[in-house]
Amino acid sequence: MKTTLVAGTLLFFAVSCSSVKSHRTPQPAPAELVGQVTGHWQGVLPCASCPGIQYQLTLNADSSWQEQSVYLSENEKPFTESGRWKMTADSVVALQKDQPGADLFYFDGKQLSMLDINGNRIVSELAAHYLLSRQTDISGKWQIISLNGEKSLRGDFDETFPYLEFNMEEKRLSGFGGCNRLMGNFEIKGDSLLLGPLMSTKMACPQIDREQKLLNSLSEKTFRLLVAGNQLELQSSGATLVLARPE
């Protein structure tokens, strides 16, 4: 029942629609346009029986996709699906699915607009709720440069430099705090990073006090994300963490 709710909701609210392009052709999109739409997208879709559906869509460069739908205020597990996607020259993204519905999107250069089952734009009073915004992509490894202005010096550590590594698809965080391996989960909402409880191994070393400060600053905290090139800054009410891509 829940697996078809997104499609059903889309059909219910798409009362008034306009065509994206009156005579669409199946010409494939150029590589530059495909590269622009590749990434992580999110939004809250209307729901007939709940406050909304937290929807996340990942369009990978290898033409695979993954989506996750979470029905807000309901005790149900997230519904996930995956498959292949393609894009036409008129900026329409098509997800290849076994069941029709919620599989067409229009890319305007900044946002993805969910289309109805006929490939038309939704122009009802709920049109704004069918827009997906780009999710900040922080996937991969980031070395910890400083915490609240206190820099991490390479000479302070025997081997591995402290780092955090984010897996955007699995929403998993791993890393090294200076003594121990770190692990946990995270979620990105707009420009906010929400970290769950962090766990670590239990090795002792000279840097254990500094590592504990790091853990206390990160575990179960919410940060504002600031990405500038190869540098990532995490800001919370009690901490500022600066990270950078490894050289």
Mean pLDDT, residues 195-213: 90
Q: What is the pLDDT of residue 9?
A: 47
In the numeric block, the tokens 């006929």 are attached to 118
Band of pLDDT at residue 206, cut at 50, 70 and 90: confident
| Best CA proximity match to 175, nearest among 103, 246, 72, 102 | 246
Band of pLDDT at residue 163, cut at 50, 70 and 90: very high
Token reading at 59: 């369009």
Mean pLDDT for the chain overall: 84
Residue 198 pLDDT > 90: yes
Q: What is the pLDDT of residue 100?
A: 67
- Non-local (6+) Cβ contacts of 169 within 8 A are 58, 66
Burial of 77 (0-12, 13-18, 19+ CB in 10 A): exposed
Q: What is the pLDDT of residue 174?
A: 97
Q: What percent of the chain has pLDDT over 70?
A: 85
Mean pLDDT, residues 128-154: 86
SS3 205: coil
Mean pLDDT, residues 175-200: 91
> CA–CA distance from 22 to each of 40, 93, 120, 145 (Å)?
29, 16, 9, 53
Residue 130 pLDDT > 80: yes
More confident residue, 158 or 216: 216
Mean pLDDT, residues 8-36: 62
More confident residue, 168 or 8: 168
Q: Which domains does the chain have, with CATH numbers?
A: 2-18+25-135 (2.40.128.640), 140-244 (2.40.128.270)
> CA–CA distance from 221 to each of 42, 129, 192, 193 (Å)?
21, 28, 10, 8
Band of pLDDT at residue 159, cut at 50, 70 and 90: low
More confident residue, 206 or 26: 206
Q: What is the pLDDT of residue 218?
A: 95
Token reading at 75: 């005790």
Q: What's the angle, vertex CA 94, arms to CA 14 and CA 59, rounded to 5?
A: 115
Sign of CA dihedral 19, 25, 31, 34: positive
Mean pLDDT, residues 104-129: 90
SS3 127: helix
Residue 57 pLDDT > 80: yes
Band of pLDDT at residue 15, cut at 50, 70 and 90: very low
Q: pTM for the whole thing?
A: 0.61
Q: What is the pLDDT of residue 10?
A: 43
In the numeric block, the tokens 């992509």 are attached to 137
